Amino acid sequence: MLITYGGKSIQVPIRDLCPGRAANHLDLSRPAFAQFANPDAAPRPTAVSWQFTSV
C-alpha cells in the first residue's frame, strides 16, 4: 500500500484487517507514522491518501 501525506509517500505492507473499523480507517505502525508526523504530538494527520500497490 502506498500512503501519501504532506508531500511524502511511503510504501507499507498490509498486515491485517481491523474488524469493526470503517473501510477508510488505517492504523500505521509507530515507525511508519513517524515518517509523516511526531507520533506523540497532536493533532494527528487526517488528509491522507492511499492506494493499493503490488509487491
Please count the structural domains in the chain.
1
What residue numbers bound the domain in which 33 lies? 1-13+24-55
Give how far Cα 46 sits from Cα of 31, 35, 49, 53, 54, Å. 17, 14, 9, 21, 24
Measured distance CA(13)–CA(11) in Å, rounded:
7
Q: Is residue 19 part of a domain?
A: no
Q: What is the pLDDT of residue 55?
A: 67
pTM of the predicted model as reported, rounded to 2 decimal places? 0.78
Mean predicted lDDT score pLDDT of the chain: 88
Q: Is residue 41 part of a domain?
A: yes
Q: Is the pLDDT of residue 12 over 70?
A: yes
Placement of cell 491522507 in the chain: 48
Q: Is the pLDDT of residue 19 over 90?
A: no
Give how far Cα 19 sits from Cα of 3, 22, 33, Å. 21, 8, 21
Q: Using one digit for the tens of pLDDT, what is the confidence trace for 22-42?
A: 877 888 899 999 999 998 988
Measured distance CA(13)–CA(24) in Å, rounded:
16
Mean pLDDT of 13-22: 84
